[in-house]
Amino acid sequence: MPVERSVLDTWIEKKEMLSLSSQKALSDWQLKKIRNLLVYAGTNSPWYRKRLSGHALPESLEEFASFPLMDGQALADAGLSMLCVSQGDISRVVTLQTSGTEGRPKRIFYTAGDQELTVSFFHHGMSELTSEGEAVMVFLPFKAEGCVGDLLIRGLKRLGVQPVGYGLMDDLADCAKAILENRISCAVGIPVQFLALGEYCRKRGIYLPLKAVLLSTDYLAIPVRERIASALGCEVYNHFGMTETGLGCALECGAHDGMHIRENDIYAEIVHPVTHEVLEDGEWGELVITTLTREGMPLLRYRTGDFARLLPGLCACGSQLKRLECGGRLGFGGMIAKLDEALFSMDLLVDYDAEYEPDVKRLTLGLKFMDDRFCVERSCADKNSIDISSVNGNCMDKNFTSENCNDGNCNDRNCIVGNCNNGICSDGNCSDRNCNHRNCNDGDCSNGNCSDGDCSNGNCSDGNCNHKNCSDGNCNYRNRMNRCYIDRNDIDITANKLLSDAGLDIYFNEVCISCSGLSHILDCRAGKRKVKIRGKYESDLHAAWNA
């Protein structure tokens, strides 16, 4: 089926009165904007005036590649001296922490005109996913004026859709309810949070009326995209943006083959992270951006710290706009992206933390799984089970209890957190085994079977209490049934195989794994994996690129 040309093409052509008939026409236009920007910044900013002294205006984009790069530390050091307008013209300031040794924060300044550029991009870009009269839910912060959710909602209103601000997901049941009650057809949010929502709905048979979701703020691994699309039954679009780009930067079209850059506002390059040589299309390196139209604090050849490449050739949609493919934060030779691709292939995994120590080649992983309740075996002599983020109970002393059955307690042979239907437990206890989803048909749990031996969504026969119960009512290391219990050794073997298959074994020779669970409450509120790589940044990169 033919793919329609990216909506960004039409927007740029109309806004800039520019024909995107060829990439040369666009490149010539960008060179003109860069030359104007150099004059503007050198005239109005004390910091740029000093930095650009001695540099003649470039006659080509190749000449512009010889201009010095800047990074987050430069932003932090320059402060107000980088501004090209008076402080009175600034409408929003965003403070971000840098990774520099001094820890001085960097501040990004925006005028009202700068923010309008982003609103316009969101307005036209979202027409790729939704149209007038539909309802769109925003699972991003939106209450602060000028934040990403606020700018997105402004753009959606111009499009004629009904925007519904929600905020970050912290209660999956409430998120699903909000989508259903507001008849949401399109939603915007964070990959790992939508992954958790998808697993939550899939396990409970909840159908959401979503036809499209836009994912942003984090790297989108292929397994994550596929699992979200499968669980929610909708089309998944990817977007890349960062504070330094004004929050919006690049958006997928219907071809889903790279994100089209808003090249009227941003000029993108890919450089070698160590030599800083500009790389050819298709080669992976560090994304460098130049903001072509910013008033308050324009950025010239800014190192983003993102691992990326520009895809060669034209998109199947016919757009002349360059396409960006991102691989997460730069990290150790792109290891973060490879970790995502490998680990998110594990069923029910919805997030992870990682720490890599290059000196000893040790990788420490904290895996977070989605399930109602489960236990993970501790690697210790007594082989006791440990509690992993159970919602209402603990796996302690081989019990999984915290609530009472009506007229009786769940004794130490049971793994139930709830009531038998109609309050009837034989002999005051849920004897021997438990039934699925906390309730027994007709309130009878005798002999480990529901009446006729059948539980909704699973059988109790032979101790098989699906979804929430451990076989034989125990939560000890000897029994495991239907994801109620996840064996530590199984995780070790599976994770190591996935990492090895992805070629990551070249980076380390020791993997340490711990596990935790996510269920009703999502504990990754920011939605981003915590990944730390110890050691000196440049030396690690140099070793990775020469490996």
pLDDT at 159 over 90: yes
Cβ atoms within 10 A of the Cβ of 81, count? 12
Residue spans per domain, the chain? 339-371+487-545, 398-481
**Distance, CA of 112 to CA of 10 (rounded, Å):** 24
Average pLDDT over residues 45-63: 96
Cβ atoms within 10 A of the Cβ of 408, count? 17
As a whole-number percent, the residues of the chain with pLDDT over 70 amount to 71
Per-residue confidence (pLDDT) for residue 377, from 0 to 100: 39
Lowest-confidence segment of 14-23, 198-207, 239-248, 480-489 by average pLDDT:
480-489
Q: Are 64 and 57 in contact (CB under 8 A)?
A: no
- Count of positions (residues) in the chain: 547
Q: Between these two residues, 69 and 463, which has the higher pLDDT value?
A: 69
Domain 339-371+487-545 annotated CATH 2.60.40: no
What 3-state class would DSSP assign to 299?
coil
Average pLDDT over residues 74-96: 94
Per-residue confidence (pLDDT) for residue 329, from 0 to 100: 80
pLDDT at 81 over 50: yes
Of 298-302, 327-331, 501-505, give the range with the top mean pLDDT.
Answer: 298-302
**pLDDT tier at 327 (50, 70, 90 boundaries)?**
confident
Per-residue confidence (pLDDT) for residue 241, from 0 to 100: 93
Which residue from 179, 84, 68 is spatially nearest to 134, judged by alpha carbons?
179
Average pLDDT over residues 81-91: 96
pLDDT at 388 over 80: no
**pLDDT tier at 350 (50, 70, 90 boundaries)?**
confident
Average pLDDT over residues 494-509: 85
Lowest-confidence segment of 8-17, 290-299, 422-431 by average pLDDT:
422-431
Positive or negative, the Cα torsion across 473, 479, 482, 484?
positive
pLDDT at 212 over 60: yes
pLDDT at 541 over 50: no
pLDDT tens readout for residues 420-437: 333 333 333 343 333 333
Got the DSSP string for 181-193? HTT-SEEEE-HHH
Per-residue confidence (pLDDT) for residue 167, from 0 to 100: 95
pLDDT tens readout for residues 97-152: 765 435 678 999 999 999 999 999 999 999 999 999 999 999 999 999 999 999 99
**pLDDT tier at 356 (50, 70, 90 boundaries)?**
confident
Q: Between these two residues, 425 and 247, which has the higher pLDDT value?
A: 247
Cα–Cα–Cα angle for 351, 356, 358, nearest 5°?
160
Residue type, 200: Y
**385-387 sheet: strands from edge to edge:** 385-387, 375-377, 485-486
pLDDT at 405 over 60: no
**pLDDT tier at 366 (50, 70, 90 boundaries)?**
confident
pLDDT at 526 over 50: no
Predicted structure pTM score: 0.77
pLDDT at 334 over 90: no
User: How much is the CA Rg of the chain, to the nearest whole Å?
Assistant: 27
pLDDT tens readout for residues 175-187: 999 999 999 999 9
Average pLDDT over residues 475-489: 40
Mean pLDDT of all residues belonging to the chain: 77
Of 42-51, 97-106, 334-343, 433-442, give the range with the top mean pLDDT.
Answer: 42-51
